Structure 1
Amino acid sequence: MKKCIIIVLIIIAGFCTIQSQAQSFILKAGMSLPDFYVNEGEDVEMTADYMMRTGFHAGLSADFTLNKVLSFEPGIMFSSKGAKSSDNDAGYRRDVVVALYYLDIPLLLRAGKAISDGIHIYAAAGPYAGVGLSGKSKITSEFSGVEEYNEVDVEWGDAEEEIKRLEFGATFGAGLEIGSFFIGAGYDLGITDISNIPGDHDDFDFKNRVLRITAGYRF
C-alpha cells in the first residue's frame, strides 16, 4: 500500500508539472460499463460468466496543440472497473459484483475537424497505465428463501489469490465538441493480464475492458 501511495503522488506531481505548459484543460466525467475479458486457456475452467456492471469515471486532461488537426492530451482519471456474474443452479442463486478502482494515466493523440462554426468532431487513441487503488467483491447468495450477503476487500499483489496492481492498455474514442462542451464514447482495452495464475498456465488471460460515455468541459 505504501508503494501505491508513492506511485500515485509521483503521478499527480508529474501531471501538475505538465499542466503549467498546457494550452487548455478538459474536465471530464461519465458512466463506465466495465467487464472482464477471460481467456481460459487449455486447462483452466472459470465457473463465473462475467458481464458488464455500471460504474463511473472522472478526471482531468491537459491539451497541447500540435497543429490545426492534432493535439496531445495526457490525463489523470479515477476509473471504476470490474464486472458482475450471476449463477442460478438447482435453487441456489449466487450474484457477485467485483468493483475495482484505478487511477489511470491516458496519453492520447487527438484529431479534430470543424464541421460548422463552433462544432467539431474528434477521435482520439493512445496507451494508458493504471494503478489499482482499492476494490471489493460483493457476494449475494440465496438458497431455500434464505439470503446471505458478504463483502470482501480485494487484495493487490503477486500472490495467486491477489490482483496485480499495475495495468497497461490502449484507449480510444470519438465524440462531438460544441463550444467548450463535449460528449463522447470510448473504450479501454486492457493488454496486461491482471491475474496471478501460476506460470504453467501461460495461455490464461484475465483483463479489464471498459466502455465509457463521457461528458466534459474545456477551460
Structure 2
Amino acid sequence: MRKMIFGALAALSAVALSLPANAQEEKECDLDVDFAVHVGYQGSFLKDFTAYPGATRSLHSGVRVGVDADFEVYEYKGFEFGVRPGVFFSQKGEAYTKTADKALSYNLNYLDIPVTLRVSREVADDLDVIANFGPYIGIGLYGKNGTGSSSKEKHDSFGKDGELRRIDSGLNASLGLRYDDFLLTVGGQYGFVNQLKDTKTLTGSPKNVNFFVMVGYEF
C-alpha cells in the first residue's frame, strides 16, 4: 500500500512538473512593444477666456515634440489594439492683436503625458491607419504672460504671482498613417480644467484647446 501511495505521488509530481513546460511550449509570452519619436507644429488657444474683451484673438503657434511607446494588446480580424503612453513637450497659449499700447500674449510650456488606446489596421502593403483616443495630464513648466509693450511686464504665468493653474487634464485624440517605420499624425487636445486661479483682475474659465500635426519615426 505504501509503495502504491509513493508511486502515485511520484506520478503526480512528474505530471505537475511537466505542465509548465508544456504550457510554455503551447503558448509563448511575447510582448510586442514599439517606440517612436515625434516632432511637429501645434496651434492653440484658451477657450472661454474673457479677460481682454477689447482685444482680437489670434492662434498661438508652437512646437510639439516627444516620445511614446506602443504596447500591442490584442488582434482581431485584422484590427490591432494597444495602449500608447507618451511624454511630450507642448507649447500652448493664446495670442492677441495689438490693442492701444498693449501687446497681449500667453506663451505656455507644458509637459504633456497622454495615455491613449490605439486601434490600427493595415490598408496596403506597409501602410497602416492608426487612431488614438484617451486622457492626458499636462504639467505647466513655465509660461510668459505679456500684458504690455515692455518685456519687464512679463511674468511666469504658473508662478507664485501667476494667474494660471499649473496642472491641466483632458482628452487627447489623433489619426495617423504609418508607412514602414515613418509616421504622420494629426490630432488635438481638449482640456477640462479651468486654468484661471486669479479671478480678481481676470475673468472667464479658460481651457486649453489645441491641434497638432507631427511626423515621427518608429523603432
Q: TM-score range by the shorter chain?
A: 0.7 to 0.9
- Over 3 Å counting, the alpha-carbon distance change for 1:198 and 1:96 in structure 2 is closer
* SS of residue matched to 1:54: strand
How many angstroms does 1:162 deviate by?
Answer: 2.0
How many angstroms does 1:164 deviate by?
Answer: 0.6
- Over 3 Å counting, the alpha-carbon distance change for 1:176 and 1:124 in structure 2 is same
Do structure 1's residue 114 and structure 2's residue 115 form an aligned pair?
Answer: no
> Could you tell me how far apart the structure 2 residues matched to 1:33 and 1:60 are?
19
What residue number does 2:193 align with?
A: 192
What residue number does 1:102 align with?
A: 110
Deviation track 1:97-117 (CA, whole Å, cap 9, x = no partner) reads 210000010001111111101
The 5 A counterparts of 1:191-210 are 191-198=192-199, 204-210=204-210
What residue number does 2:135 align with?
A: 127
How many angstroms does 1:204 deviate by?
Answer: 4.0
Structure 1, 132-141 or 183-192: larger mean CA deviation: 132-141
How many angstroms does 1:23 deviate by?
Answer: 0.9
What residue number does 1:67 align with?
A: 74
8 Å Cα contact 2:135/2:169 also seen in 1: yes
8 Å Cα contact 2:164/2:198 also seen in 1: no
Do structure 1's residue 154 and structure 2's residue 165 form an aligned pair?
Answer: no
> Could you tell me how far apart the structure 1 residues matched to 2:127 and 2:214 are?
17
Amino acid at match of 1:167: D
How many angstroms does 1:94 deviate by?
Answer: 3.5
Amino acid at match of 1:169: G
TM-score in terms of structure 1 length: 0.75
Question: Which residues of structure 2 form unaligned runs of 5+?
Answer: 1-30
- Residue of 59, 70, 95 corresponding to 1:84: 95
Question: Which residues of structure 1 form unaligned runs of 5+?
Answer: 1-20, 142-147
Amino acid at match of 2:142: S
8 Å Cα contact 1:22/1:64 also seen in 2: yes
8 Å Cα contact 2:163/2:198 also seen in 1: no
What residue number does 1:18 align with?
A: none
* SS of residue matched to 2:114: strand
> Could you tell me how far apart the structure 2 residues matched to 1:125 and 1:150 are?
41
**Root-mean-square deviation (CA), in Å?**
2.6
> Could you tell me how far apart the structure 2 residues matched to 1:103 and 1:45 are?
27
Structure 1, 131-140 or 97-106: larger mean CA deviation: 131-140
8 Å Cα contact 1:36/1:51 also seen in 2: no
Deviation track 1:58-82 (CA, whole Å, cap 9, x = no partner) reads 1110110012311100001110000
What residue number does 1:218 align with?
A: 218
The structure that has the greater radius of gyration is: 2
> Could you tell me how far apart the structure 1 residues matched to 2:48 and 2:160 are?
19
What residue number does 1:54 align with?
A: 61
TM-score in terms of structure 2 length: 0.75
Deviation track 1:91-143 (CA, whole Å, cap 9, x = no partner) reads x35332210000010001111111101001111110000110001124564xx
Do structure 1's residue 168 and structure 2's residue 178 form an aligned pair?
Answer: no
8 Å Cα contact 2:63/2:90 also seen in 1: yes
> Could you tell me how far apart the structure 2 residues matched to 1:22 and 1:57 are?
26
> Could you tell me how far apart the structure 2 residues matched to 1:39 and 1:151 are?
20
8 Å Cα contact 1:197/1:204 also seen in 2: no
Q: Percent identity?
A: 26
